[in-house]
Structure 1
Amino acid sequence: MQVERMDIERLDVERLDPVAGRILDAALQQFTRCGLRRSTVDDVARRAKVSRVTVYRRFGSKESLVASCLLRESRRFLAVLDAAVAELPSIEERVAEGFAVTLRHIRSHPLMGGLLRLEPDVVLPFLTVDGGPVLVAVRDHVAERLRREGVGGAGNGGPGGAEAATVAELMVRVVVSFLLTPASCIELDDADRARDFAHRFLVPLLGHH
Structure 2
Amino acid sequence: MSTERVAGEVESADEFDRREQILDAANECFTQLGIQRTSVQDVARMAKVSRGTVYRYFVDRDVLIEAAIEHGAQRFYRAVAAAMAGKPTLAEQLGAMAETHANILLDHRTRNRLMADDAELMRHMISDGDTAVRRSTKFLEPYVRDAQKRGEVGAGVDVTAASEWLARIVYSFSTVNQGLSFDMTKPETVRKYVEKFAVNGLR
* Matches of 2:191 and 2:77, distance apart in 1: 18
Number of the residue aligned with 1:193:
189
Number of the residue aligned with 1:33:
32
Of 188, 195, 199, the residue aligned with 1:203 is 199
1:103 Cα deviation from its structure 2 partner = 0.8
Of 155, 177, 182, the residue aligned with 2:175 is 177
One-letter code aligned to 1:97: A
Q: Answer yes or no: is the 8 Å Cα contact 2:94–2:194 preserved in 1.
A: yes
* Matches of 2:42 and 2:187, distance apart in 1: 38
Match of 2:199, SS?
Answer: helix
Residues 99-114 of structure 1 correspond to what in structure 2 (within 5 A)?
A: 99-109=98-108, 114=112
Bigger drift between 72-81 and 41-50 goes to: 41-50
Q: Answer yes or no: is the 8 Å Cα contact 2:109–2:115 preserved in 1.
A: no
Number of the residue aligned with 2:124:
126
CA RMSD of aligned residues (A): 3.6
- Report the count of equivalent residues: 188
| CA offsets 1:175-208 (integer angstroms, 9 cap, x no match) | 2232xxx134343243453233213431224x12
1:89 Cα deviation from its structure 2 partner = 1.7
| CA offsets 1:117-162 (integer angstroms, 9 cap, x no match) | 44453222333465765554344323343334338xxx94353143
Q: Answer yes or no: is the 8 Å Cα contact 2:41–2:51 preserved in 1.
A: yes
Match of 1:150, SS?
Answer: helix
Number of the residue aligned with 1:20:
19
In the superposition, the TM-score normalised over structure 1's length comes to 0.68
Pick the structure with more helix per residue.
2
Q: Answer yes or no: is the 8 Å Cα contact 2:44–2:50 preserved in 1.
A: yes
Check 1:20–1:135 CA distance in 2 against 1; reply closer, same or farther (3 A cut): farther
Question: For structure 2, which runs of at least 5 residues remain unmatched after alignment?
Answer: 1-12
Question: For structure 1, which runs of at least 5 residues remain unmatched after alignment?
Answer: 1-13
Number of the residue aligned with 2:157:
159
* Matches of 1:44 and 1:192, distance apart in 2: 33
Number of the residue aligned with 1:55:
54
